[in-house]
Structure 1
Amino acid sequence: MNTQQHQGISQKVVLITGASSGLGESTARLLASRGAKLVVVARRADRLAQLVSEIKAAGGDAVYQVVDVTKAEDLQAAVQLALDSYGRLDVIINNAGLMAIAPMSERRTDEWDRMIDINIKGVLYGIAAALPVFEAQQSGHFINISSVAGVKVFSPGGTVYSGTKFAVRAISEGLRHEVGGHIRTTTILPGAVESELKHGSSHGASAEFVKAFYQQNQIPADAVARAVAYAIEQPDNVDINEIVLRPTVQEF
């Protein structure tokens, strides 16, 4: 792993949710290679342990904790782990997400609830846990992962998923208005990116549609990792508010 120093990233303490795979894992590896100190959290302890082991073996610095983002106390514990391990928290990346695509006529209200709990409440709980620390430090950076589906409603079957991602975008913008000055807020809105997100649909026809869509369009997760790094490495007086990135071939 390349451990060269990157101004704006080196030595920053970064907490990443949903870090056991996909965008979160790729971002953790890239930021660690650029000198960040990582707190990686997700539900799968084995994947987190492996990630931290590999980061440390490559000369990086990381700790992990099992976290369910639908539980506010879990996010508070993750922020406390950052403080206990490194004495501060500079960036929180609210990345954990669920994409369950199905027509609304299927009335899969359990999936609606799950997406709201993970995609919206999970972001809010991350904000709630980190905000007091950022306010006390008079510095900090929220990076919230939305989606291109938060710019244009994903159709067919993505109505509720898009609703959650539009919400993330709105929450991020409102947060920026409320805490801007010393605290930065960035929304990343990716298109089709290689991750486990595409496996979240239990509705057969929708799952096949999503599978085909990703096969035709997806790009590697490190495309998002580089966008995150770009936002972090800016000088403190520069706040990258939104980054929308799509595969070149993706029309939607």
Structure 2
Amino acid sequence: MQQTNGQPTTGQQPIGKLSGKIALVTGASSGIGAATALALAQEGAAVALVARRQDRLEQVAQTIQDAGGRAAVIVADIAQPEQARNAVAQTVSQLGGLDILVNNAGLMLLGPVAGADSDDWHRMMDLNVLALMHLTQAAVEVMKPKQSGHIVNISSVSGRGASPTSAGYSATKWAVGGFSEGLRQEVRLDRIRVTVIEPGVVATELTDHITHQDTKTTYESRISTMVPLEAEDIAAAVVYATTQPERVNVNQLLIRPLDQG
């Protein structure tokens, strides 16, 4: 069941390019999500922090509050459709609206198709694709009446290419790309922007969840030879896209570490 901490944290809101805007960030308890929430708050946005780990969310919220910002903690398992939609409703209720949705939460469960655990595929589809779709649907319903808004979907380089052990994961990220492009064309006349950001290797917890041990070992060995991106690099890309003039829709941003082939 979805829980919240009851009241948004408050402070003297920073003045920035996103002052007066309200953002919702999924997967905000760590990694790219936490970095994005902090970066948006630094630009003046009030931020709804959505994830399952309340203690981690409250730490991020406290950091935002200490800097004079405003945040709401929303504990939810967005792989559950009703909790995903309710996260949007809670954002509107606690912060007063919704201008920016950052669909960041995701799983990367790499492994070969032969012998794959189908539960891994279902978990990735539920979180990487369906949760994103349910949140987006609810957000668009809020944004359309006011004829403004921005949907940012965090995809991956695996959304435009694949490797022998990324078939399942790549399938989910290609789905994100297809959904995003169809959505962009659908809502452009409602003045809603859609951006897809495709990171390469980023230093996050993403590899911790890989269940196929041989693949996990091989992947971690490969990325140990490069300097990965930091979560803040992707957060900066989100800020770039969302702070462009309203006439500008940054459709896609592909970002790789310099070392990545």
Structure 2 length as normaliser, TM-score? Answer: 0.92
Secondary structure at the counterpart of residue 143 of structure 1: strand
Matched, 1:148 2:179: no
CA contact (8 A) 2:16 2:42 kept: no
Q: Is residue 166 of structure 2 the alignment partner of residue 158 of structure 1? A: yes
- Residue 187 (structure 1) aligns with: 196
Q: C-alpha separation between the residues in 2 aligned to 1:45 and 1:207?
A: 28
Aligned residues: 247
| Residues 71, 125 of structure 1: 8 Å contact kept | no
Match of 1:90 in 2: 99
> Which ranges in structure 2 are unaligned for 5 or more consecutive residues?
1-12
Q: Residue in 1 aligned with 2:234?
A: 224
- Written as runs of structure 1 = structure 2, the 5 A alignment for 1:118-129 is 118-129=127-138
Partner of 2:87: 78
Asked if 2 retains the 8 angstrom alpha-carbon contact of 1:93 and 1:143, the reply is yes
Answer yes or no: is 1:201 the counterpart of 2:210. Answer: yes
Moved over 3 A (4+): none
Work out whether residues 6 and 233 of structure 1, in 8 Å CA contact, stay in contact via their aligned partners in 2: no
* Contact persistence 1:149–1:165 (CA under 8 A): yes
Aligned-pair distance for 1:238?
Answer: 0.7
1:112 aligns with 2:136: no
The structural deviation recorded for 1:214 is: 2.8
Q: Which moved more, 1:71-80 or 1:47-56?
A: 71-80
Superposition deviation, residue 82 in structure 1? 1.8
Contact 1:13/1:86, CA 8 A, preserved across alignment:
yes
- Conserved 8 A contact 1:100-1:200: yes
User: What's the % identity of the aligned pairs?
Assistant: 41
Question: Helix, strand or coil: the match of 2:114?
Answer: helix
1:78 Cα deviation from its structure 2 partner: 1.4
Contact 1:198–1:214 at 8 Å: present in 2 too? no
1:22-62, Cα deviation, whole Å (9 max, x unpaired): 00001111111111100010011111111111210121111
Q: Is 1:103 aligned to residue 74 of structure 2?
A: no
Deviations 1:89-123 (A, max 9, x none): 00000110000011111231010111111111011
Cα distance in 2 for partners of 1:104, 1:68 equals 27
2:47 is aligned to 38
2:74 partner SS: strand
- Which SS does the other structure have where 1:6 is aligned? coil
| Equivalent position SS for 1:92 | strand
Residue 235 of structure 1, aligned match among 245, 253, 261: 245
What SS class does the counterpart of residue 180 from structure 1 fall into?
helix
* Equivalent AA in structure 1 for residue 229 of structure 2: I
Secondary structure in 1 matching 2:33: helix
- Does structure 1 conserve the Cα–Cα contact (< 8 Å) formed by 2:107 and 2:124? yes
The offset of 1:76, in angstroms, is: 2.0
Q: Which amino acid aligns with 1:171?
A: F
Q: Which residue of 1 aligns with 2:64?
A: 55
